Amino acid sequence: MLKIWGRRNSINVMKVLWVCEELALPFEQIDAGMQFGVVNTPEYAAMNPNRKVPTIDDDGFTLAESNTIVRYLAARHGREDLLPTDARARARIESWMDWASFSLAIAMTPLFWQLIRTPGNQRDPKVIAANATEAERCMRILDDQLAGQPHLAGEGFTLADVPAAAFVHRWLALPIERPALPRLEAYYRRMLERRGYRAHVAGPLS
C-alpha cells in the first residue's frame, strides 16, 4: 500500500491526499512534521534529505516534493485526463502547478502563517498587508484565467487545479477583507463537489 508521510494540515500533504482520492488509491498516512517530529530522524532523511513533508513510499520507491508526487501518481496510474502525455498539454498544466507553488505560495504562505499560526500579539501588520495585496493580485489572475472555462487548463479538471485550488480554500477562509471575484468563487464551489477536495483540503484552517 502507498505510504504518505506528512501532517494533514500541510497544504502540500493535502495535495497528495486529494489526488489519491481522485485516483481511488488506498494509502496509509503517517503523521510527520512540526509537532509530530519524524522528519529529523535518520530514517526519514534517507528517504527525503530535505526533511520536509510529504514523502511517499510506493512499493519501495520513495519520492518527495508534492507536485512531483502527484504527477508521478497520475502518470503511474495512466490518468491522462489529469496529466496528458502530449508535451504541450502537459506543459500548460505544469506551468499552472509551478505558478501556484511559487508565485501564489510566496504571498499565501506568510499570510497564512501570520493569521493562523502566529499568536495575535506577535503578528506583523505590515507583513499581513503586503502579502494580502500580493495574494489578491494572484487571485485576480486566477479569476481572469477562469473566464470562459471551468478549470485552469480548460474544460476538464486536471492537476493544474490541485495546487491553486488548495490555496483558494485558504484565501477564502482567512479572516481578511477580499474583493468579489465571482469566477473564482464559482470555481471554489465546483471544487467542493469533488470528494477528495472536501475530505482533504476544505477543512478548518490550522
Domain boundaries 87-197, corresponding CATH code:
1.20.1050.10
Q: Domain 2-76 is classified in which CATH homologous superfamily?
A: Glutaredoxin (3.40.30.10)
Q: 139-150: per-residue pLDDT in tens?
A: 999 999 999 999
pLDDT at res. 168: 98
- In terms of pTM, does the model score above 0.85? yes
Q: 151-201: per-residue pLDDT in tens?
A: 999 999 999 999 999 999 999 999 999 999 999 999 999 999 999 999 999
Collect contacts of 91-94 with beta carbons under 8 A, ≥24 apart. Answer: 92/153, 92/160, 93/153, 93/158, 93/159, 93/160, 94/67, 94/159, 94/160
The residue extents of the domains of the chain are 2-76, 87-197
**Mean pLDDT, residues 47-75 taken together:** 98
